[in-house]
Amino acid sequence: MSGNRPEATGNPLAHAVKLARETVPPMHPAGRPFVFGGLAATLVLRRFSKPLGVLGALATAATAAFFREPKRVPPARSGLAVASADGLVSLIEEAVPPPELGLPAEPRMRVSVFLSVFDVHVQRIPASGVIERVAYRPGKFLSADLDKASEDNERNSVLMRTEDGHELVVVQIAGLVARRILCEIREGDKVGVGATYGIIRFGSRVDLYLPPGSKVLVSTGQRTIGGETPIAELPTAPHPEG
């Protein structure tokens, strides 16, 4: 009879801590200086005024939430490009990839996801493969939901080749509030689908350029979950160059 009995949960406090860890997302390391600074400011403010201390604590909690990095489970199905970011699909159109990547100046299907300050702001790898090129370009800080943000704003572009030989381009674009793009991958890195590779601080946009022949699976106005939502079905074979 004991073989079918559930195992004892053990220490209730330890169980509660385990549940909290599974429920509350971890924080991306890039957020630690901001959160620690907020905690220090909160302690100073509380010495002068309890209401100010409460406001400082709330602001610090909001900052920690902004830098959250929840665990994501990519689709088991192969041949997909998944969302690189949480947010709202703002544009689906053909466009030429960033010139700094050195690709042919030929339009490709581009899916743009706009991130508000309330969205998770880490970026994730859209498919397993190898990073071929990483290129940063300084620029303006226009509102990330504008069409021209892709061309004019500060950005960091990544060219990768999937395990099936397809070229994918992911572009982190700074927004009206964002002033810092962090990219943690380098040329030659082998990467897995859904893995975190960077973060944009405080409002941004992420563009995904697809290889010719891809079938887009999302619509404008749809919300995406980074590392999980299928953006497109990739062609069965790489598109021939030239």
Instruction: Write down the domain spans for the chain.
Output: 15-67, 80-233
Query: What residue ranges of the chain have pLDDT lower than 50?
Result: 1-8, 242
Model pLDDT for residues 112-123, shown as the tens digit of each residue: 999 887 888 789
Kindly give the residue spans of alpha helices, DSSP state H, lying in 49-193. 50-66, 149-152
pLDDT score, position 1 = 44
pTM of the model: 0.77
- The pLDDT score that the predictor gives to residue 3 is 47
Catalytic (active-site) positions: 204
Give the integer Cα–Cα distance in Å for 12 and 25: 21
pLDDT at 6: 45
Length of the chain: 242
CB neighbours of residue 204 within 10 Å: 30
Q: Look at residues 193, 183, 161 and name the one whose alpha carbon lies nearest to residue 72.
A: 193
Determine the pLDDT at residue 163.
Answer: 93
* CA nearest neighbour of 164 among 124, 214, 206, 92: 214
Rg (CA), the chain: 21
Is 121 within 8 Å of 199 (Cβ atoms)? yes
Coil, helix or strand for 42? helix
For tokens 């992420």, what's the residue? 206
Structure tokens given for 19 = 């549940």
CATH code for residues 80-233: 2.70.70.10
